[in-house]
């Protein structure tokens, strides 16, 4: 029996001649709909209040527009970039450059992270030997390696990919490692009894089992890849959104800095959507979560 | 005839996380005839599961010898099916992939393994559910998957660790009857671990009573009830009740010892 017919029956039971029949399910649906509308409305309100007060205070001169810019100027700047291009060339090229660096670093870092995470998760000896070094490396503020790569790999895309990859690597590595370590012992025993060899154990049990950990880490690590790419550009580059922001900063162009930030945010949101889609494809064996916690 | 499974003077010790030594089994002797259905009963924590782990080769004894099908156990050998107490079906594989795993690991091509798996899925009554993931199945259905998974390789030894303890009573006796049917069609020797004496007697030819830990075989009883049996009804037979009383007299003391111990460690 579905909820609706149950509710219908219930409504018959509770109704008496003097009272109107209440369809509980319909009521519940209406309430849910109203709840969603309320949330959407409140979100919009937050944006309007925030941007409105920013615009207002800068226009009234309470906040210095030179340092803090204002929403209308940022929109105008973005529009100018889109239509007239930036000082570094067409806007699209800058976005593309940063995207390439980010995705490149993300892919390289993720693959290395998974490979090393699984290898160390599987081998006690490896993890005992390398564990302290990895912990130490993880403790350094890793964005500084961007400076090193700018020297050693030059100012083109390679140094940015390397920086982004380093940032991504550790997050994915720790998750993959933990994921492999936490595999249900029963599943391993079962696979071995069924005749699985070492390779099958890795590809069919350990990696799928660790996958939910790994994929969860991809959400964070794409953001970090973007950080790596932008920081790499700040250390020296000829194109890219980070370089755009850097140039705007040198010109005391606050609107340009904000416009660059807006672009990065849009890129991150797009990537987040793509990773969520990937997650649903990769882990379709997982029961759907009852409560949506995604933001 | 040589026994299918033989444990001679087996002792198994584990290191506890705090560095101590825990003796799970002490000087255990047990033999299972080919094709025999044996149940192992005993109080909680008496080392029943450890016994299965030793037979399967997942664990090796600290002392003594374990022989399966006439060969000493030195690791995981072929010809063994194992049904675990908790769910051990692979959550990221569909029913079909889960059941096909065993044959694939034994070198069958993907296609042949699937054909074989479909047959077994039908035999355990899951036809039509091939493409479901375990989370989409009920507890009883997951047990059926596990049963097909452990039988598909045609094991000569079937080890079962309280496989049905998580099921409701009706589903449980259904599964027990199906197990007996599938077992009768094979020629496997079964070691069925349970804490439920009724289940033990209704399924098996022989019941081993294990003492409170460290476990050792206290006694073993032949169950001379006719086959085929209907587990839902056999427990009303006078002979069943006689056997039950006989074994229970033996088991009661061990349960009491184990309970006392738990109370003490709980109070400490």
Q: What are the domain boundaries of chain B?
A: 5-74+157-163+171-267, 80-154
Query: Is the per-residue pLDDT at A191 higher than 60?
Result: yes
Chain A residues near residue B58 by CB distance under 8 angstroms = 189, 192-193
Query: Is the per-residue pLDDT at A6 higher than 60?
Result: no
* Average pLDDT, integer, range A242-262: 92
Q: How far apart are the first and last CA of chain B?
A: 50
**Residues 119-148 (B) with a CB less than 8 A from some CB of A:** 133-136
* Average pLDDT, integer, range B102-117: 94
- The CATH superfamily of B5-74+157-163+171-267 is P-loop containing nucleotide triphosphate hydrolases (3.40.50.300)
Query: Is the per-residue pLDDT at A260 higher than 80?
Result: yes
**pLDDT for res A19:** 54
**Residues 273-292 (A) with a CB less than 8 A from some CB of B:** 283-287
**pLDDT for res A22:** 62
**CA atoms of B187 and A188, how far apart (whole Å):** 27
**CA atoms of B49 and B33, how far apart (whole Å):** 20
What secondary structure letter does DSSP report for B214? S
**pLDDT for res A12:** 47
Question: Where, residue-wise, is CATH 1.10.3720.10 in chain A?
Answer: 75-282
Chain A residues near residue B147 by CB distance under 8 angstroms = none
Angle between helices A91-122 and A254-282 (to 10 degrees): 40
Query: Is the per-residue pLDDT at A15 higher than 50?
Result: no
Q: Which residues lie closer than 8 Å to A110 by C-beta, 6 or more apart?
A: A168, A169, A172, A214, A218, A221
* Average pLDDT, integer, range A70-85: 92
Is A75-282 assigned to CATH 1.10.600.10? no
Nearest to A204 by CA among B77, B155, B97, B121: B97
Q: Does the pTM exceed 0.80? A: no
Nearest-Cα residue of chain A relative to residue B59: A189
**Residues 50-109 (B) with a CB less than 8 A from some CB of A:** 56, 58, 76, 78, 80-82, 84, 86-94, 101-102, 105-106
**CA atoms of B12 and B25, how far apart (whole Å):** 5
Chain A residues near residue B148 by CB distance under 8 angstroms = none
The answer to whether the CB atoms of A194 and B135 lie below 8 A apart is: no
**CA atoms of B200 and B240, how far apart (whole Å):** 11
Q: Which residue has the higher pLDDT, B44 or A81?
A: A81
Mean pLDDT of chain B: 91
Are the C-beta atoms of residues B258 and B219 closer than 8 Å to each other?
no
Mean pLDDT of chain A: 86
Helix, strand, or coil here: A269? Answer: helix
Residues B141-183: pLDDT tens digits? 999 999 999 999 999 999 999 999 888 988 899 999 999 999 9
Chain B residues near residue A204 by CB distance under 8 angstroms = 90, 93, 101
Rounded to the nearest 10 degrees, how much is the dihedral formed by the CA atoms of A96, A99, A101, A104? -120
Query: Is the per-residue pLDDT at A173 higher than 70?
Result: yes
**CA atoms of B247 and A112, how far apart (whole Å):** 59
ipTM of the complex: 0.89
Chain A residues near residue B99 by CB distance under 8 angstroms = none
Q: Which residue has the higher pLDDT, A25 or A197?
A: A197
Q: Which residues lie closer than 8 Å to A67 by C-beta, 6 or more apart?
A: A254
Residues B117-141: pLDDT tens digits? 999 999 999 999 999 999 999 989 9
Helices (H) and strands (E) in chain A, counts: 13, 0
Nearest-Cα residue of chain B relative to residue A188: B88
**CA atoms of A251 and A165, how far apart (whole Å):** 30
Q: Which of B90, B116, B152 to mutate to test the interface with A (most CBs of A within 10 A)?
A: B90
Q: Which residues lie closer than 8 Å to A259 by C-beta, 6 or more apart?
A: A74, A77, A78, A81, A248
The answer to whether the CB atoms of A186 and B88 lie below 8 A apart is: yes
Residue A155 is encoded by which pair of tokens?
Answer: 């100012």
CA-CA distances (angstroms) from residue A75 to A33, A69, A248, A267, B267? 33, 11, 15, 17, 70
Residue A119 is encoded by which pair of tokens?
Answer: 């290898």
Residue A261 is encoded by which pair of tokens?
Answer: 């930030």
Helix, strand, or coil here: B159? Answer: strand
**pLDDT for res B53:** 93
């Amino acid at each position: 029996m579905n909820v609706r017919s149950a509710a219908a029956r219930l409504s018959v039971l509770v109704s008496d001649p003097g009272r109107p029949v209440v369809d509980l399910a319909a009521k519940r649906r209406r309430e849910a709909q109203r709840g969603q509308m309320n949330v959407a409305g409140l979100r919009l309100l937050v944006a309007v209040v925030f941007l409105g007060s920013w615009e207002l205070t800068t226009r009234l001169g309470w906040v210095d527009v030179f340092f803090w810019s204002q929403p209308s100027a940022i929109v105008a700047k973005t529009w100018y970039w889109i239509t007239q291009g930036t000082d570094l060339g067409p806007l699209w090229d800058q976005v593309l450059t940063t995207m390439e660096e980010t995705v490149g670093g993300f892919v390289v870092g993720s693959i290395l992270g998974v490979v090393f995470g699984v290898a160390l998760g599987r081998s006690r000896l490896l993890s005992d030997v390398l564990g302290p070094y990895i912990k130490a490396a993880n403790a350094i503020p890793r964005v500084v390696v961007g400076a090193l790569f700018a020297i050693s790999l030059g100012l083109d895309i390679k140094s940015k990919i390397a920086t982004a990859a380093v940032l991504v690597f550790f997050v994915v590595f720790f998750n993959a490692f933990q994921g492999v370590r936490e595999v249900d012992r029963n599943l391993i025993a079962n696979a071995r009894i069924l005749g699985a060899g070492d390779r099958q154990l890795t590809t069919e049990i350990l990696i799928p089992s660790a996958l939910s950990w790994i994929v969860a880490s991809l959400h964070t690590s794409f953001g970090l890849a973007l950080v790596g790419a932008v920081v790499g550009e700040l250390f020296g580059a000829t194109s890219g959104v980070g370089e755009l922001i850097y140039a705007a900063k040198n010109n005391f162009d606050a609107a340009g800095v904000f416009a660059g930030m807006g672009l990065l945010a849009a890129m991150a949101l797009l990537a987040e959507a793509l990773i969520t889609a990937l997650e649903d494809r990769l882990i379709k064996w997982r029961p759907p979560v009852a409560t949506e916690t995604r933001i | 005839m040589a026994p299918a499974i033989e444990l001679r003077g087996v002792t198994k010790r584990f290191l506890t996380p705090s560095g101590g030594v825990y003796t799970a089994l002490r000087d255990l002797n047990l033999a299972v005839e080919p094709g025999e259905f044996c149940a192992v009963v005993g109080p909680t924590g008496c080392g029943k599961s450890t016994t299965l782990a030793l037979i399967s080769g997942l664990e090796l004894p600290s002392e003594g010898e374990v022989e399966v099908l006439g060969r000493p156990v030195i690791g995981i050998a072929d010809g063994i099916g194992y049904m675990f107490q908790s769910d051990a079906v692979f959550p990221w594989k569909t029913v079909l992939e889960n059941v096909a795993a065993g044959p694939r690991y034994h070198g069958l091509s993907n296609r042949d393994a699937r054909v074989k798996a479909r047959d077994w899925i039908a035999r355990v009554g899951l036809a039509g559910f091939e493409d479901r993931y375990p989370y989409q199945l009920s507890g009883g259905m997951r047990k059926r998957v596990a049963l097909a998974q452990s039988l598909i390789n045609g094991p000569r030894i079937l080890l079962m660790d309280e496989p049905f303890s998580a099921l409701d009573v009706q589903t449980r006796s259904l599964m027990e009857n199906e197990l007996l049917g599938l077992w009768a069609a094979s020629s496997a020797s079964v070691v069925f671990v349970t804490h439920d004496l009724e289940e033990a007697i209704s399924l098996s030819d022989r019941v081993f009573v294990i003492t409170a830990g460290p476990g050792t075989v206290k006694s073993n009883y032949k169950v001379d009830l006719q086959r085929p049996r209907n587990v839902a009804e056999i427990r009303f037979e006078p002979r069943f009740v006689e056997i039950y009383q006989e074994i229970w007299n033996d088991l009661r003391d061990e349960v009491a010892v184990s309970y006392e111990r738990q109370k003490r460690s709980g109070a400490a």
